[in-house]
Amino acid sequence: MRINDRVFGMLMLILAVAYGWEATQFPIPFGGHESVGPETFPIMLSIILGISSIYMIVRPDPDEKWAPAAMLIELSVVVLAMLAFAWAIEPIGFMPAAAIVVSFLSWRMGASITKSIITGVTSSVFIFFLFNTVLELALPLGLLEF
């Protein structure tokens, strides 16, 4: 199967066209037209990207296998967990957020529940104190703030 490269090549071709078109729409800079404007370099890039994506569509490489659907769902859950961590770091604080996300990740990577909780809690507490006291980079305390 050589689907991956074809699909990706097409996406990149669309990007190249959109990017190049967008570049031609730049407003003319103050001081009038010069021989090279802000659009020159981007237009060159869109041509290079266009050529290489056409090559990819015409002469695709064999596919690398995608993970089965269950794994892809799991990976998306992990990505969501990391985004949730990014969101939670300020409102609920670094330590709880990090403890939860590290425990979750190491559990998903195959550690037992108790061991992953131990890893999560110790690493987040350790890193928090390392950063706040030793390296003096303030991480938010969040809920633990009094």
Q: How far is the CB of 14 from another protein (least distance, A)?
A: 13
Q: How many residues bind another protein (CB under 8 A)?
A: 66
How far apart are the C-alpha atoms of 71 and 68, rounded to whole Å? 5
Instruction: By CB under 8 A, tell whether 69 contacts another protein.
Output: no
110 φ/ψ sector (left φ>0, alpha ψ -120 to 50, else beta): left
The correct pick among 61, 70, 133, 146 for binding another protein (CB under 8 A) is 61
Indicate the Cα dihedral angle 97, 98, 100, 105, nearest 10°: 140
Which residue reads 């809920």 in tokens?
143
In 25-63, which ranges are continuous DSSP H helix?
Answer: 40-58
Instruction: By CB under 8 A, tell whether 74 contacts another protein.
Output: yes
Is the separation of the CB atoms in 44 and 1 below 8 Å?
A: no
The residue ranges that bind another protein (CB under 8 A) are: 4-5, 8, 12, 16, 19, 22-23, 26-27, 29-30, 34-38, 40-42, 45-46, 48-49, 51-53, 55-56, 61, 64, 66-67, 71, 74-75, 78-79, 82-83, 85-87, 89-90, 94, 98, 101-102, 105-106, 108-111, 115-116, 119-120, 123-124, 127, 131, 135, 137, 139
